Structure 1
Amino acid sequence: MISINGYPARPSVRAGEVIRLHIATSAPRFRLDFYRWGATPQHAGHTEWPGRTADPGTFDRDWQWPAYGFPVPPGWSSGVYIAVLSTEPDSCTPPMDSREARILLVVTPAAPSGRKILYKIPTFTYQAYNTAGGGSLYSASQVTMRRPGGGVGGPVKGLPDPYDSTSPRQTFAHWDAPFIAWMQENGIESDFCTDLDLHEGRHLNDGYRLLVSAGHDEYWSTDARQNITAFRDTGGNIANFGANTCWWRVDVDPGGAGLSCDKFPPGASAETDPDASYGCPDHWWESEPENALLGVSYRNGGGHWEGPRAPLGFTVTDGDHWIFSGTGLRTGDVLGREAALIGYECDGAAYELDAAGRPGPTGQDGTPKDFEILGIAPLPSDWNFAAGGPATSTRAATLGLYTAAGTVFTAATTDWARLLATDPQVASITRNVITRLS
């Protein structure tokens, strides 16, 4: 049986530059087709190269497979490109998602484009869940980014999603692809980058008004967070249509070759659940709570990971707010309950009720005091809660925003993108947020 797979030397490249791709195959020759992701995959070009074999490596070391240089055409638009590896002549458009023979590549602009939206692809998180080579950041403290996988093309740790079985949860196809497709269908143009780009200080100073993230953007480096915070502090806006965001801190090897994350408290046993522990060196919330930037944290939310969950939606707390314009929602209505909008993980802020019964942040967890809770969903007791112990308030998903120099919006649930195509109210809120903040 002929085998073929590959990975990029780094997950992004500027249009007009050369990307180094590492590919191993038992075929004497192979073909590489590039598709730009959108409402429908658009074929962007192809190349053919002689094949070379190589053995699989381990999860923690650069696989050092044979390298091929591909000059990215300067006319390629910024976007997410899926490279499809094949040993047969191309006959039809193949599926974009696969656990092998696929490479995810983000093309960034060659120069500032004038677009106002920058969309962040969370390659650190994709690599954290990538199990190619027999390990991930859930079984070890260090992984290489130079191996197959990382959004597409590799095996993935995690449980199936009962609400969308077409792709594994921790993949591009599951989280980002539907959001990007919806943006294109609705005429919303953006440029694209990776978290490695933001870690290295690229793009945020190129005239963008809004940074967008969706789905499951869990692993952040210190430099990426500092650069995004500086973007906010100079008037840049952030829209986070996801949850469990900025939960773990990662260190990035020079050149972006690998990631490390120290999750376990000193003396912890192999059975320790780091999410439910204190004293974890790389928990953001224990040293510099992510609430200070995002307004919310998984610490005050929770997860329901296996099987169907009780349907939960956001109870609207201020139906007159601009994010609900055109939705028909009024104060007290519930958003997304029928389709289980809340989950599979969600974020929240510690809160208290005022005299009128409306929730507001206590600020005890680092959430800015002017964070407006616009939708709230208290969580059932059978959910998985992080850092088990006394909570400062009822754990609840809290949708909302605040303004420092820039405005930061959070949807506070990983599954926001799943409802975009089927729930007009979710779609209207998304459009309102993106239009206003960009």
Structure 2
Amino acid sequence: MDQEQIPGGPEGTGRRRFLALATGTATAAGLGSVAGCASGGDGTSGATLKGKGAGKGSTPEPGPGGFDVKAENARPGNADWRVTKAGPARAIEGFADRVSVLPGESFGLHVSTTAPRFTVSAYRMGWYGGARARLVWRSEALPGVRQPEPAVESGTRMVRTRWPRTATVDTKGWPEGCYLLRLDAQGGEGQRFVPVTVRSAAAAGRTVMVNAVATWQAYNRWGGYGSYDGPSGGYASRSLSVTFDRPYDYDDGAGLFLVYEAPLIALAERLGIPLAYATTTDVARERRLLEGAAAVLSPGHDEYWSPEQRAHVTAARDAGSNIAILGANCCFRRIRLEPSELGPDRTVVCYKSSYEQDPGFKRGHPATVDFRSAPGADPESSLLGVIYDGYPVDAPYVVTNPGHWLFEGTGVKAGDGFAHLVGVEYDKVSTGFPTPRPIEILAHSPVVCEGRPSHQDTAYYTVPSGAGVFATGTMRWVEALDATGDGRSGANHGLDARAGALTTRVTENLLRAFAAGPAGKTHPAQDNVNAVYGGS
């Protein structure tokens, strides 16, 4: 059967906090056909799937800022993209051997299933009239195989799969963007996602959505181990390195994408601003990727950064690119990216408090500790304006500066509160750490973190290049973009429609202003730290 043509139309607790945070050798005989699908033992064989995709016109012509987001989102969406049949544990699961590819490049899929056959459907995530996804490509039915059990490295406790490649996917005709591949086991035995990014080759004039894939992987406990704990639940049993060569164990295989990134992508694409797409590993690897970018977006949970990524984002700011931090606890862990057996930058190394055991540190690499910690302390506040202050909290978000341009159209007044919007981690302005000035505090919310009174801050600062930097100071910001209910249910941490309306309007104001160029030239920051905190 040919592939289907889709019509155009803090440490120690094991950090189980995530539960609180997220509640090819065979070639195609012709376009879209598969000549065999035998898995080889060298990890490279399997079917080569050349996608017809959406057929003629599937990729809109680039607009003046690059890829035409408006034209893409004018296409009919597919609201049935979600996983509705999770099935038994490990009924089907998989991963891609590339975190991101350029349009037209191929990647390998490594799939394990108990079903005799399965299909792969590629959904591009966006707005699409509220459907949130468009089906771009679907495979023919492929033979299923149960892959070997994973192994755990004795030194680092890193989980390795060493699964042979099941199929090679050709992305010819796929538009740039963030994708979820849905694996469907035959007979409704199960469904799982595999995320992959079709990245942009350049970002000049565009707002760059950066998938926080290193953080996704750090929180991944597939195989029993992640960067916070192992099977015992203890911090001492955590993995010191984690690899992308394994499926994601949470959110049906989607990682942190659906909670902390998809709502932001949907909003940005609905606005139609020129967008580019990348991952944290791309930003770290490609020094010039952010050159000329109008803005760079860090999503809701973007904790693990390499020194290279931080240097490249800082350089972009200093060249005039706006930076938006739409979460909290950002740029907190310093990591190192190393290759795996499947390719470069597929291992996330973070020894944390055990950095002296790290062979890379012994060879002269920076210590994989918190950025603010010795050796080589470099607090994240010098880039973000705010600094991580604690976990866990659940508190109202309190507006301090209602006249700020980012609150335009919200109707807020000083002292207005929005229940549950501050959590589960938060940041604040603290001049005891390096803090760019001038910096404005927009919201100053009282919190109590493990018995310690403090405050959460939303802040905006500007630099001589003209760039503006905005930080929400709460991890629930992106999640709140989807809040439409009365807040009574446990879903979305009780966030209600008021929180949804506030975050949506502020984010719209932010994205439009940041897409227009260096925001500091039109909206210079007016320092109010002394007024808010009563001192310097």
TM-score range, shorter-chain basis? 0.7 to 0.9
2:225 to 109, 113, 135: 135
1:266–1:86 CA distance, 2 compared to 1 (3 A): closer
Q: Which residues of 2 match residues 84-103 of structure 1 at below 5 A?
A: 84-88=182-186, 101-103=192-194
My pick for the range that moved more, 408-417 or 39-48, is: 39-48
CA contact (8 A) 1:33 1:46 kept: yes
Question: 1:230, CA displacement in angstroms?
Answer: 1.0
Distance 1:3 1:265 in 2: 36
1:414 to 475, 480, 484: 475
Distance 2:380 2:261 in 1: 22
CA contact (8 A) 1:58 1:132 kept: no
Deviations 1:109-136 (A, max 9, x none): 3x44766111011111110010011100
Please tell me whether residue 64 in structure 1 is matched to residue 165 in structure 2: no
* Higher RCO (CA-CA < 8 Å; seq separation 6+): 1
Structure 1 counterpart of 2:260: 175
1:199 to 277, 280, 284: 284
1:58–1:339 CA distance, 2 compared to 1 (3 A): farther
Distance 2:250 2:302 in 1: 12
1:44 to 113, 118, 136: 136
Per the normalisation by structure 2, the TM-score is 0.65
Q: Which residues of 2 match residues 72-87 of structure 1 at below 5 A?
A: 72-73=171-172, 75-87=173-185
Distance 1:418 1:53 in 2: 35
1:26–1:424 CA distance, 2 compared to 1 (3 A): closer
Structure 2 counterpart of 1:303: 391
One-letter code aligned to 2:219: Y
Distance 2:305 2:249 in 1: 15
1:341–1:150 CA distance, 2 compared to 1 (3 A): same
Q: Which residues of 2 match residues 6-25 of structure 1 at below 5 A?
A: 6-25=94-113
One-letter code aligned to 1:292: S
Please tell me whether residue 323 in structure 1 is matched to residue 406 in structure 2: yes
Partner SS, residue 226 of structure 1: helix
CA contact (8 A) 2:97 2:109 kept: yes
2:246 to 118, 123, 147: 147
Partner SS, residue 216 of structure 1: coil
My pick for the range that moved more, 414-423 or 131-140, is: 414-423
* Two-structure CA RMSD over aligned residues (Å): 2.7
Structure 1 counterpart of 2:415: 333
Structure 2 gap ranges (5+): 1-87, 153-157, 229-237, 358-366, 483-496, 516-536
Question: 1:222, CA displacement in angstroms?
Answer: 1.0
Distance 2:259 2:502 in 1: 21
Structure 2 counterpart of 1:165: none
Q: Which residues of 2 match residues 232-381 of structure 1 at below 5 A?
A: 232-254=317-339, 255-264=344-353, 282-286=369-373, 287-298=377-388, 301-304=389-392, 309=394, 311-317=395-401, 319-330=402-413, 332-334=414-416, 337-350=417-430, 362=431, 364-381=432-449
Partner SS, residue 505 of structure 2: helix
CA contact (8 A) 1:104 1:152 kept: no
Structure 2 counterpart of 1:359: none
Deviations 1:393-430 (A, max 9, x none): x7321111111222211011111122224332222211
CA contact (8 A) 2:204 2:294 kept: no
Partner SS, residue 247 of structure 2: coil
One-letter code aligned to 1:369: R
Question: 1:266, CA displacement in angstroms?
Answer: 7.8
Question: 1:172, CA displacement in angstroms?
Answer: 1.3
Distance 1:234 1:189 in 2: 19
Which structure has the larger Rg? Answer: 2
Structure 1 counterpart of 2:461: 402
Please tell me whether residue 211 in structure 1 is matched to residue 287 in structure 2: no
Deviations 1:249-299 (A, max 9, x none): 11111301211112226899xxxxxxxxxxx9511112100000011111x
Question: 1:184, CA displacement in angstroms?
Answer: 3.0
Distance 1:244 1:10 in 2: 26
Partner SS, residue 340 of structure 1: strand
2:198 to 104, 107, 115: 107
Give % identity: 31
CA contact (8 A) 1:22 1:64 kept: no
Distance 2:287 2:103 in 1: 14
CA contact (8 A) 1:103 1:152 kept: no
1:237–1:204 CA distance, 2 compared to 1 (3 A): farther
Deviating above 6 A after TM superposition, structure 1's stretches of 4 or more consecutive aligned residues are: none
Question: 1:381, CA displacement in angstroms?
Answer: 4.6
Structure with greater helix share of residues = 2
Distance 1:294 1:316 in 2: 19
CA contact (8 A) 2:391 2:449 kept: no
Distance 2:304 2:240 in 1: 13
Question: 1:329, CA displacement in angstroms?
Answer: 2.4
CA contact (8 A) 2:124 2:177 kept: yes
1:153–1:424 CA distance, 2 compared to 1 (3 A): closer
One-letter code aligned to 1:104: P
